[in-house]
Amino acid sequence: MSNLAQVLLVNPTITSRRSARFPLAALTLSAALDGRYRSTILDGNIDRDFVSTALNKLETGTIDAVGVSVMGGPQLRTAIALSQAVRARFPQIPIIWGGHFPTICAAACLAEGFVDYAIRGQGEETLVELLDALFERRLDRLSAWALVVSSLALQDAGIDLSQVDRSRVAVVFGTGFGCAELTEAFFQSAAVNGWSGTDPSPFPEGLANAPASHVALLHSLRGPNITVGTTGFAGESALIQAASLLRHGQADLAIVLAGDTLTRAVYEWYEAANLLSPACYNAELLPEVGGFVPSEGLVALVLEPAGRRDVLSYARFSSGRCAAGGKAVEIIRAMLGDSVPNLTICAGNGAPCGTSSTTDLAREISGHDADVVPAQAVAAGLADAGALLHLILALSREPRSGQALLLGTSGDGGFAALRLELL
């Protein structure tokens, strides 16, 4: 079996079968890809159920991208039907439009959620260049997000890396599933082709520490590079680990990231385990019905020793504890000492597998009149990796000051508590 990526080139239905002509655009593109990529042509003028045929081909796990030729007029309707069906069933597959319509209406094409790339004009060379960018060094979405958010975090912190000793900059990444998208692609290839015919290319990029490694490579960082995957508390653990590096003089600066992607296999696992909220099965917005609504995303922030630079700061992290069990109230109160936080930010509660009330624990620690920021749904959907997003959402609501506690819990009695001073 060839390890070349495979593209499904589709000529959507535009005329009757009697009036069909050779799909010259798809044939030309296939010839341009020959030798660098594999391609399969699907002609909707011949196959009147071409959308189902395309989905069946994608189901095999051998298709890496879909190219759609779009003239406009009646072909626009069938191209949209195909693209919507592919996006709904296979959200990770890139969908590329080319032809007359995207040439003159590229912005309108890209405004739709079912078109990832629009090629203008003659597409033979452009398609090859695009596929090279997508597959020669194929990144999991989690790695791609890490490159973007790490750059934005550095920019927000006002850090010019050219003025910093890059051997003293750490990268710490917290995740629940790691690069699940390419891990899934690797095992799908094995299921379809057997181990001897498995495409090995997704495997290196499917490793959980790939996002942190890519961040270090992008920014030429040579400091400690750590990935943590603590069940329920990956985000909190990343913060604690980064703070420990600074406190023990192993780094002068730390980029802390936490996040996960939501793949089809992960979602289906949640569904098979009966963990999903009823809201997941409704197109219309529902009143609060509870349950777990999975989400995806990645968050980054920069951690520095206190008082090191005159920059915009949001909070000072003073101490933290993360434990799989024990007497949470006693341990956290011992960490807090004589201070009582005037704000508690609730992070995860162990969802979806086993939950306990973070709010109840917060009030037991700080009193029933304490100011408690409840967990946010979009961050709670990140499960293990949501703590940083909970923190950023809470701090962005309105300016605060004083002592704060970032608190997460799990159903087995585990907890994570981070003591902060809001600035």
pLDDT in tens, 300-348: 999 998 766 666 678 888 889 888 888 888 999 999 888 888 888 888 8
Same fold: 141-283+292-303 with 315-422: yes
CA 260, 268, 358, 321 torsion: positive or negative? negative
Say if residue 411's pLDDT is above 50.
Answer: yes
Q: What percentage of residues in the chain have a pLDDT greater than 90? A: 41
Mean pLDDT of 346-351: 83
Give CATH for domain 315-422: 3.40.47.10
Say if residue 1's pLDDT is above 50.
Answer: no
- Do residues 264 and 91 touch, judged by C-beta distance below 8 A? yes
- Crossing angle of helices 141-156 and 210-219, in 10° steps, is 50
Mean pLDDT of 292-306: 90
Say if residue 4's pLDDT is above 50.
Answer: yes
Where are the chain's structural domains? 6-135, 141-283+292-303, 315-422
Asked which of 33-37, 51-55, 173-177, 377-381 is least confident by mean pLDDT, the reply is 377-381
Say if residue 46's pLDDT is above 90.
Answer: yes
Instruction: Report the mean per-residue pLDDT for the chain.
Output: 87
Topology (CATH) of 6-135 = Rossmann fold (3.40.50)
Query: pLDDT (tens digit, 9 = 90+) per residue, 140-157?
Result: 889 888 988 999 999 888
**Strand duo 169-174 + 117-118: pairing:** unpaired
Q: What percentage of residues in the chain have a pLDDT greater than 70? A: 94
Spatial distance between the Cα atoms of 246 and 256, rounded to a whole number of angstroms = 12
The confidence score (pLDDT) of residue 154 equals 93
DSSP state letter for 345: E
Nearest to 423 by CA among 406, 407, 403: 403
Say if residue 402's pLDDT is above 90.
Answer: no
Spatial distance between the Cα atoms of 279 and 286, rounded to a whole number of angstroms = 6
Name the CATH superfamily, with its identifier, for domain 141-283+292-303. Answer: Thiolase/Chalcone synthase (3.40.47.10)
Nearest to 254 by CA among 318, 317, 311, 303: 303
Say if residue 115's pLDDT is above 70.
Answer: yes
Spatial distance between the Cα atoms of 40 and 66, rounded to a whole number of angstroms = 10
Query: pLDDT (tens digit, 9 = 90+) per residue, 195-216?
Result: 887 777 678 888 899 999 999 9
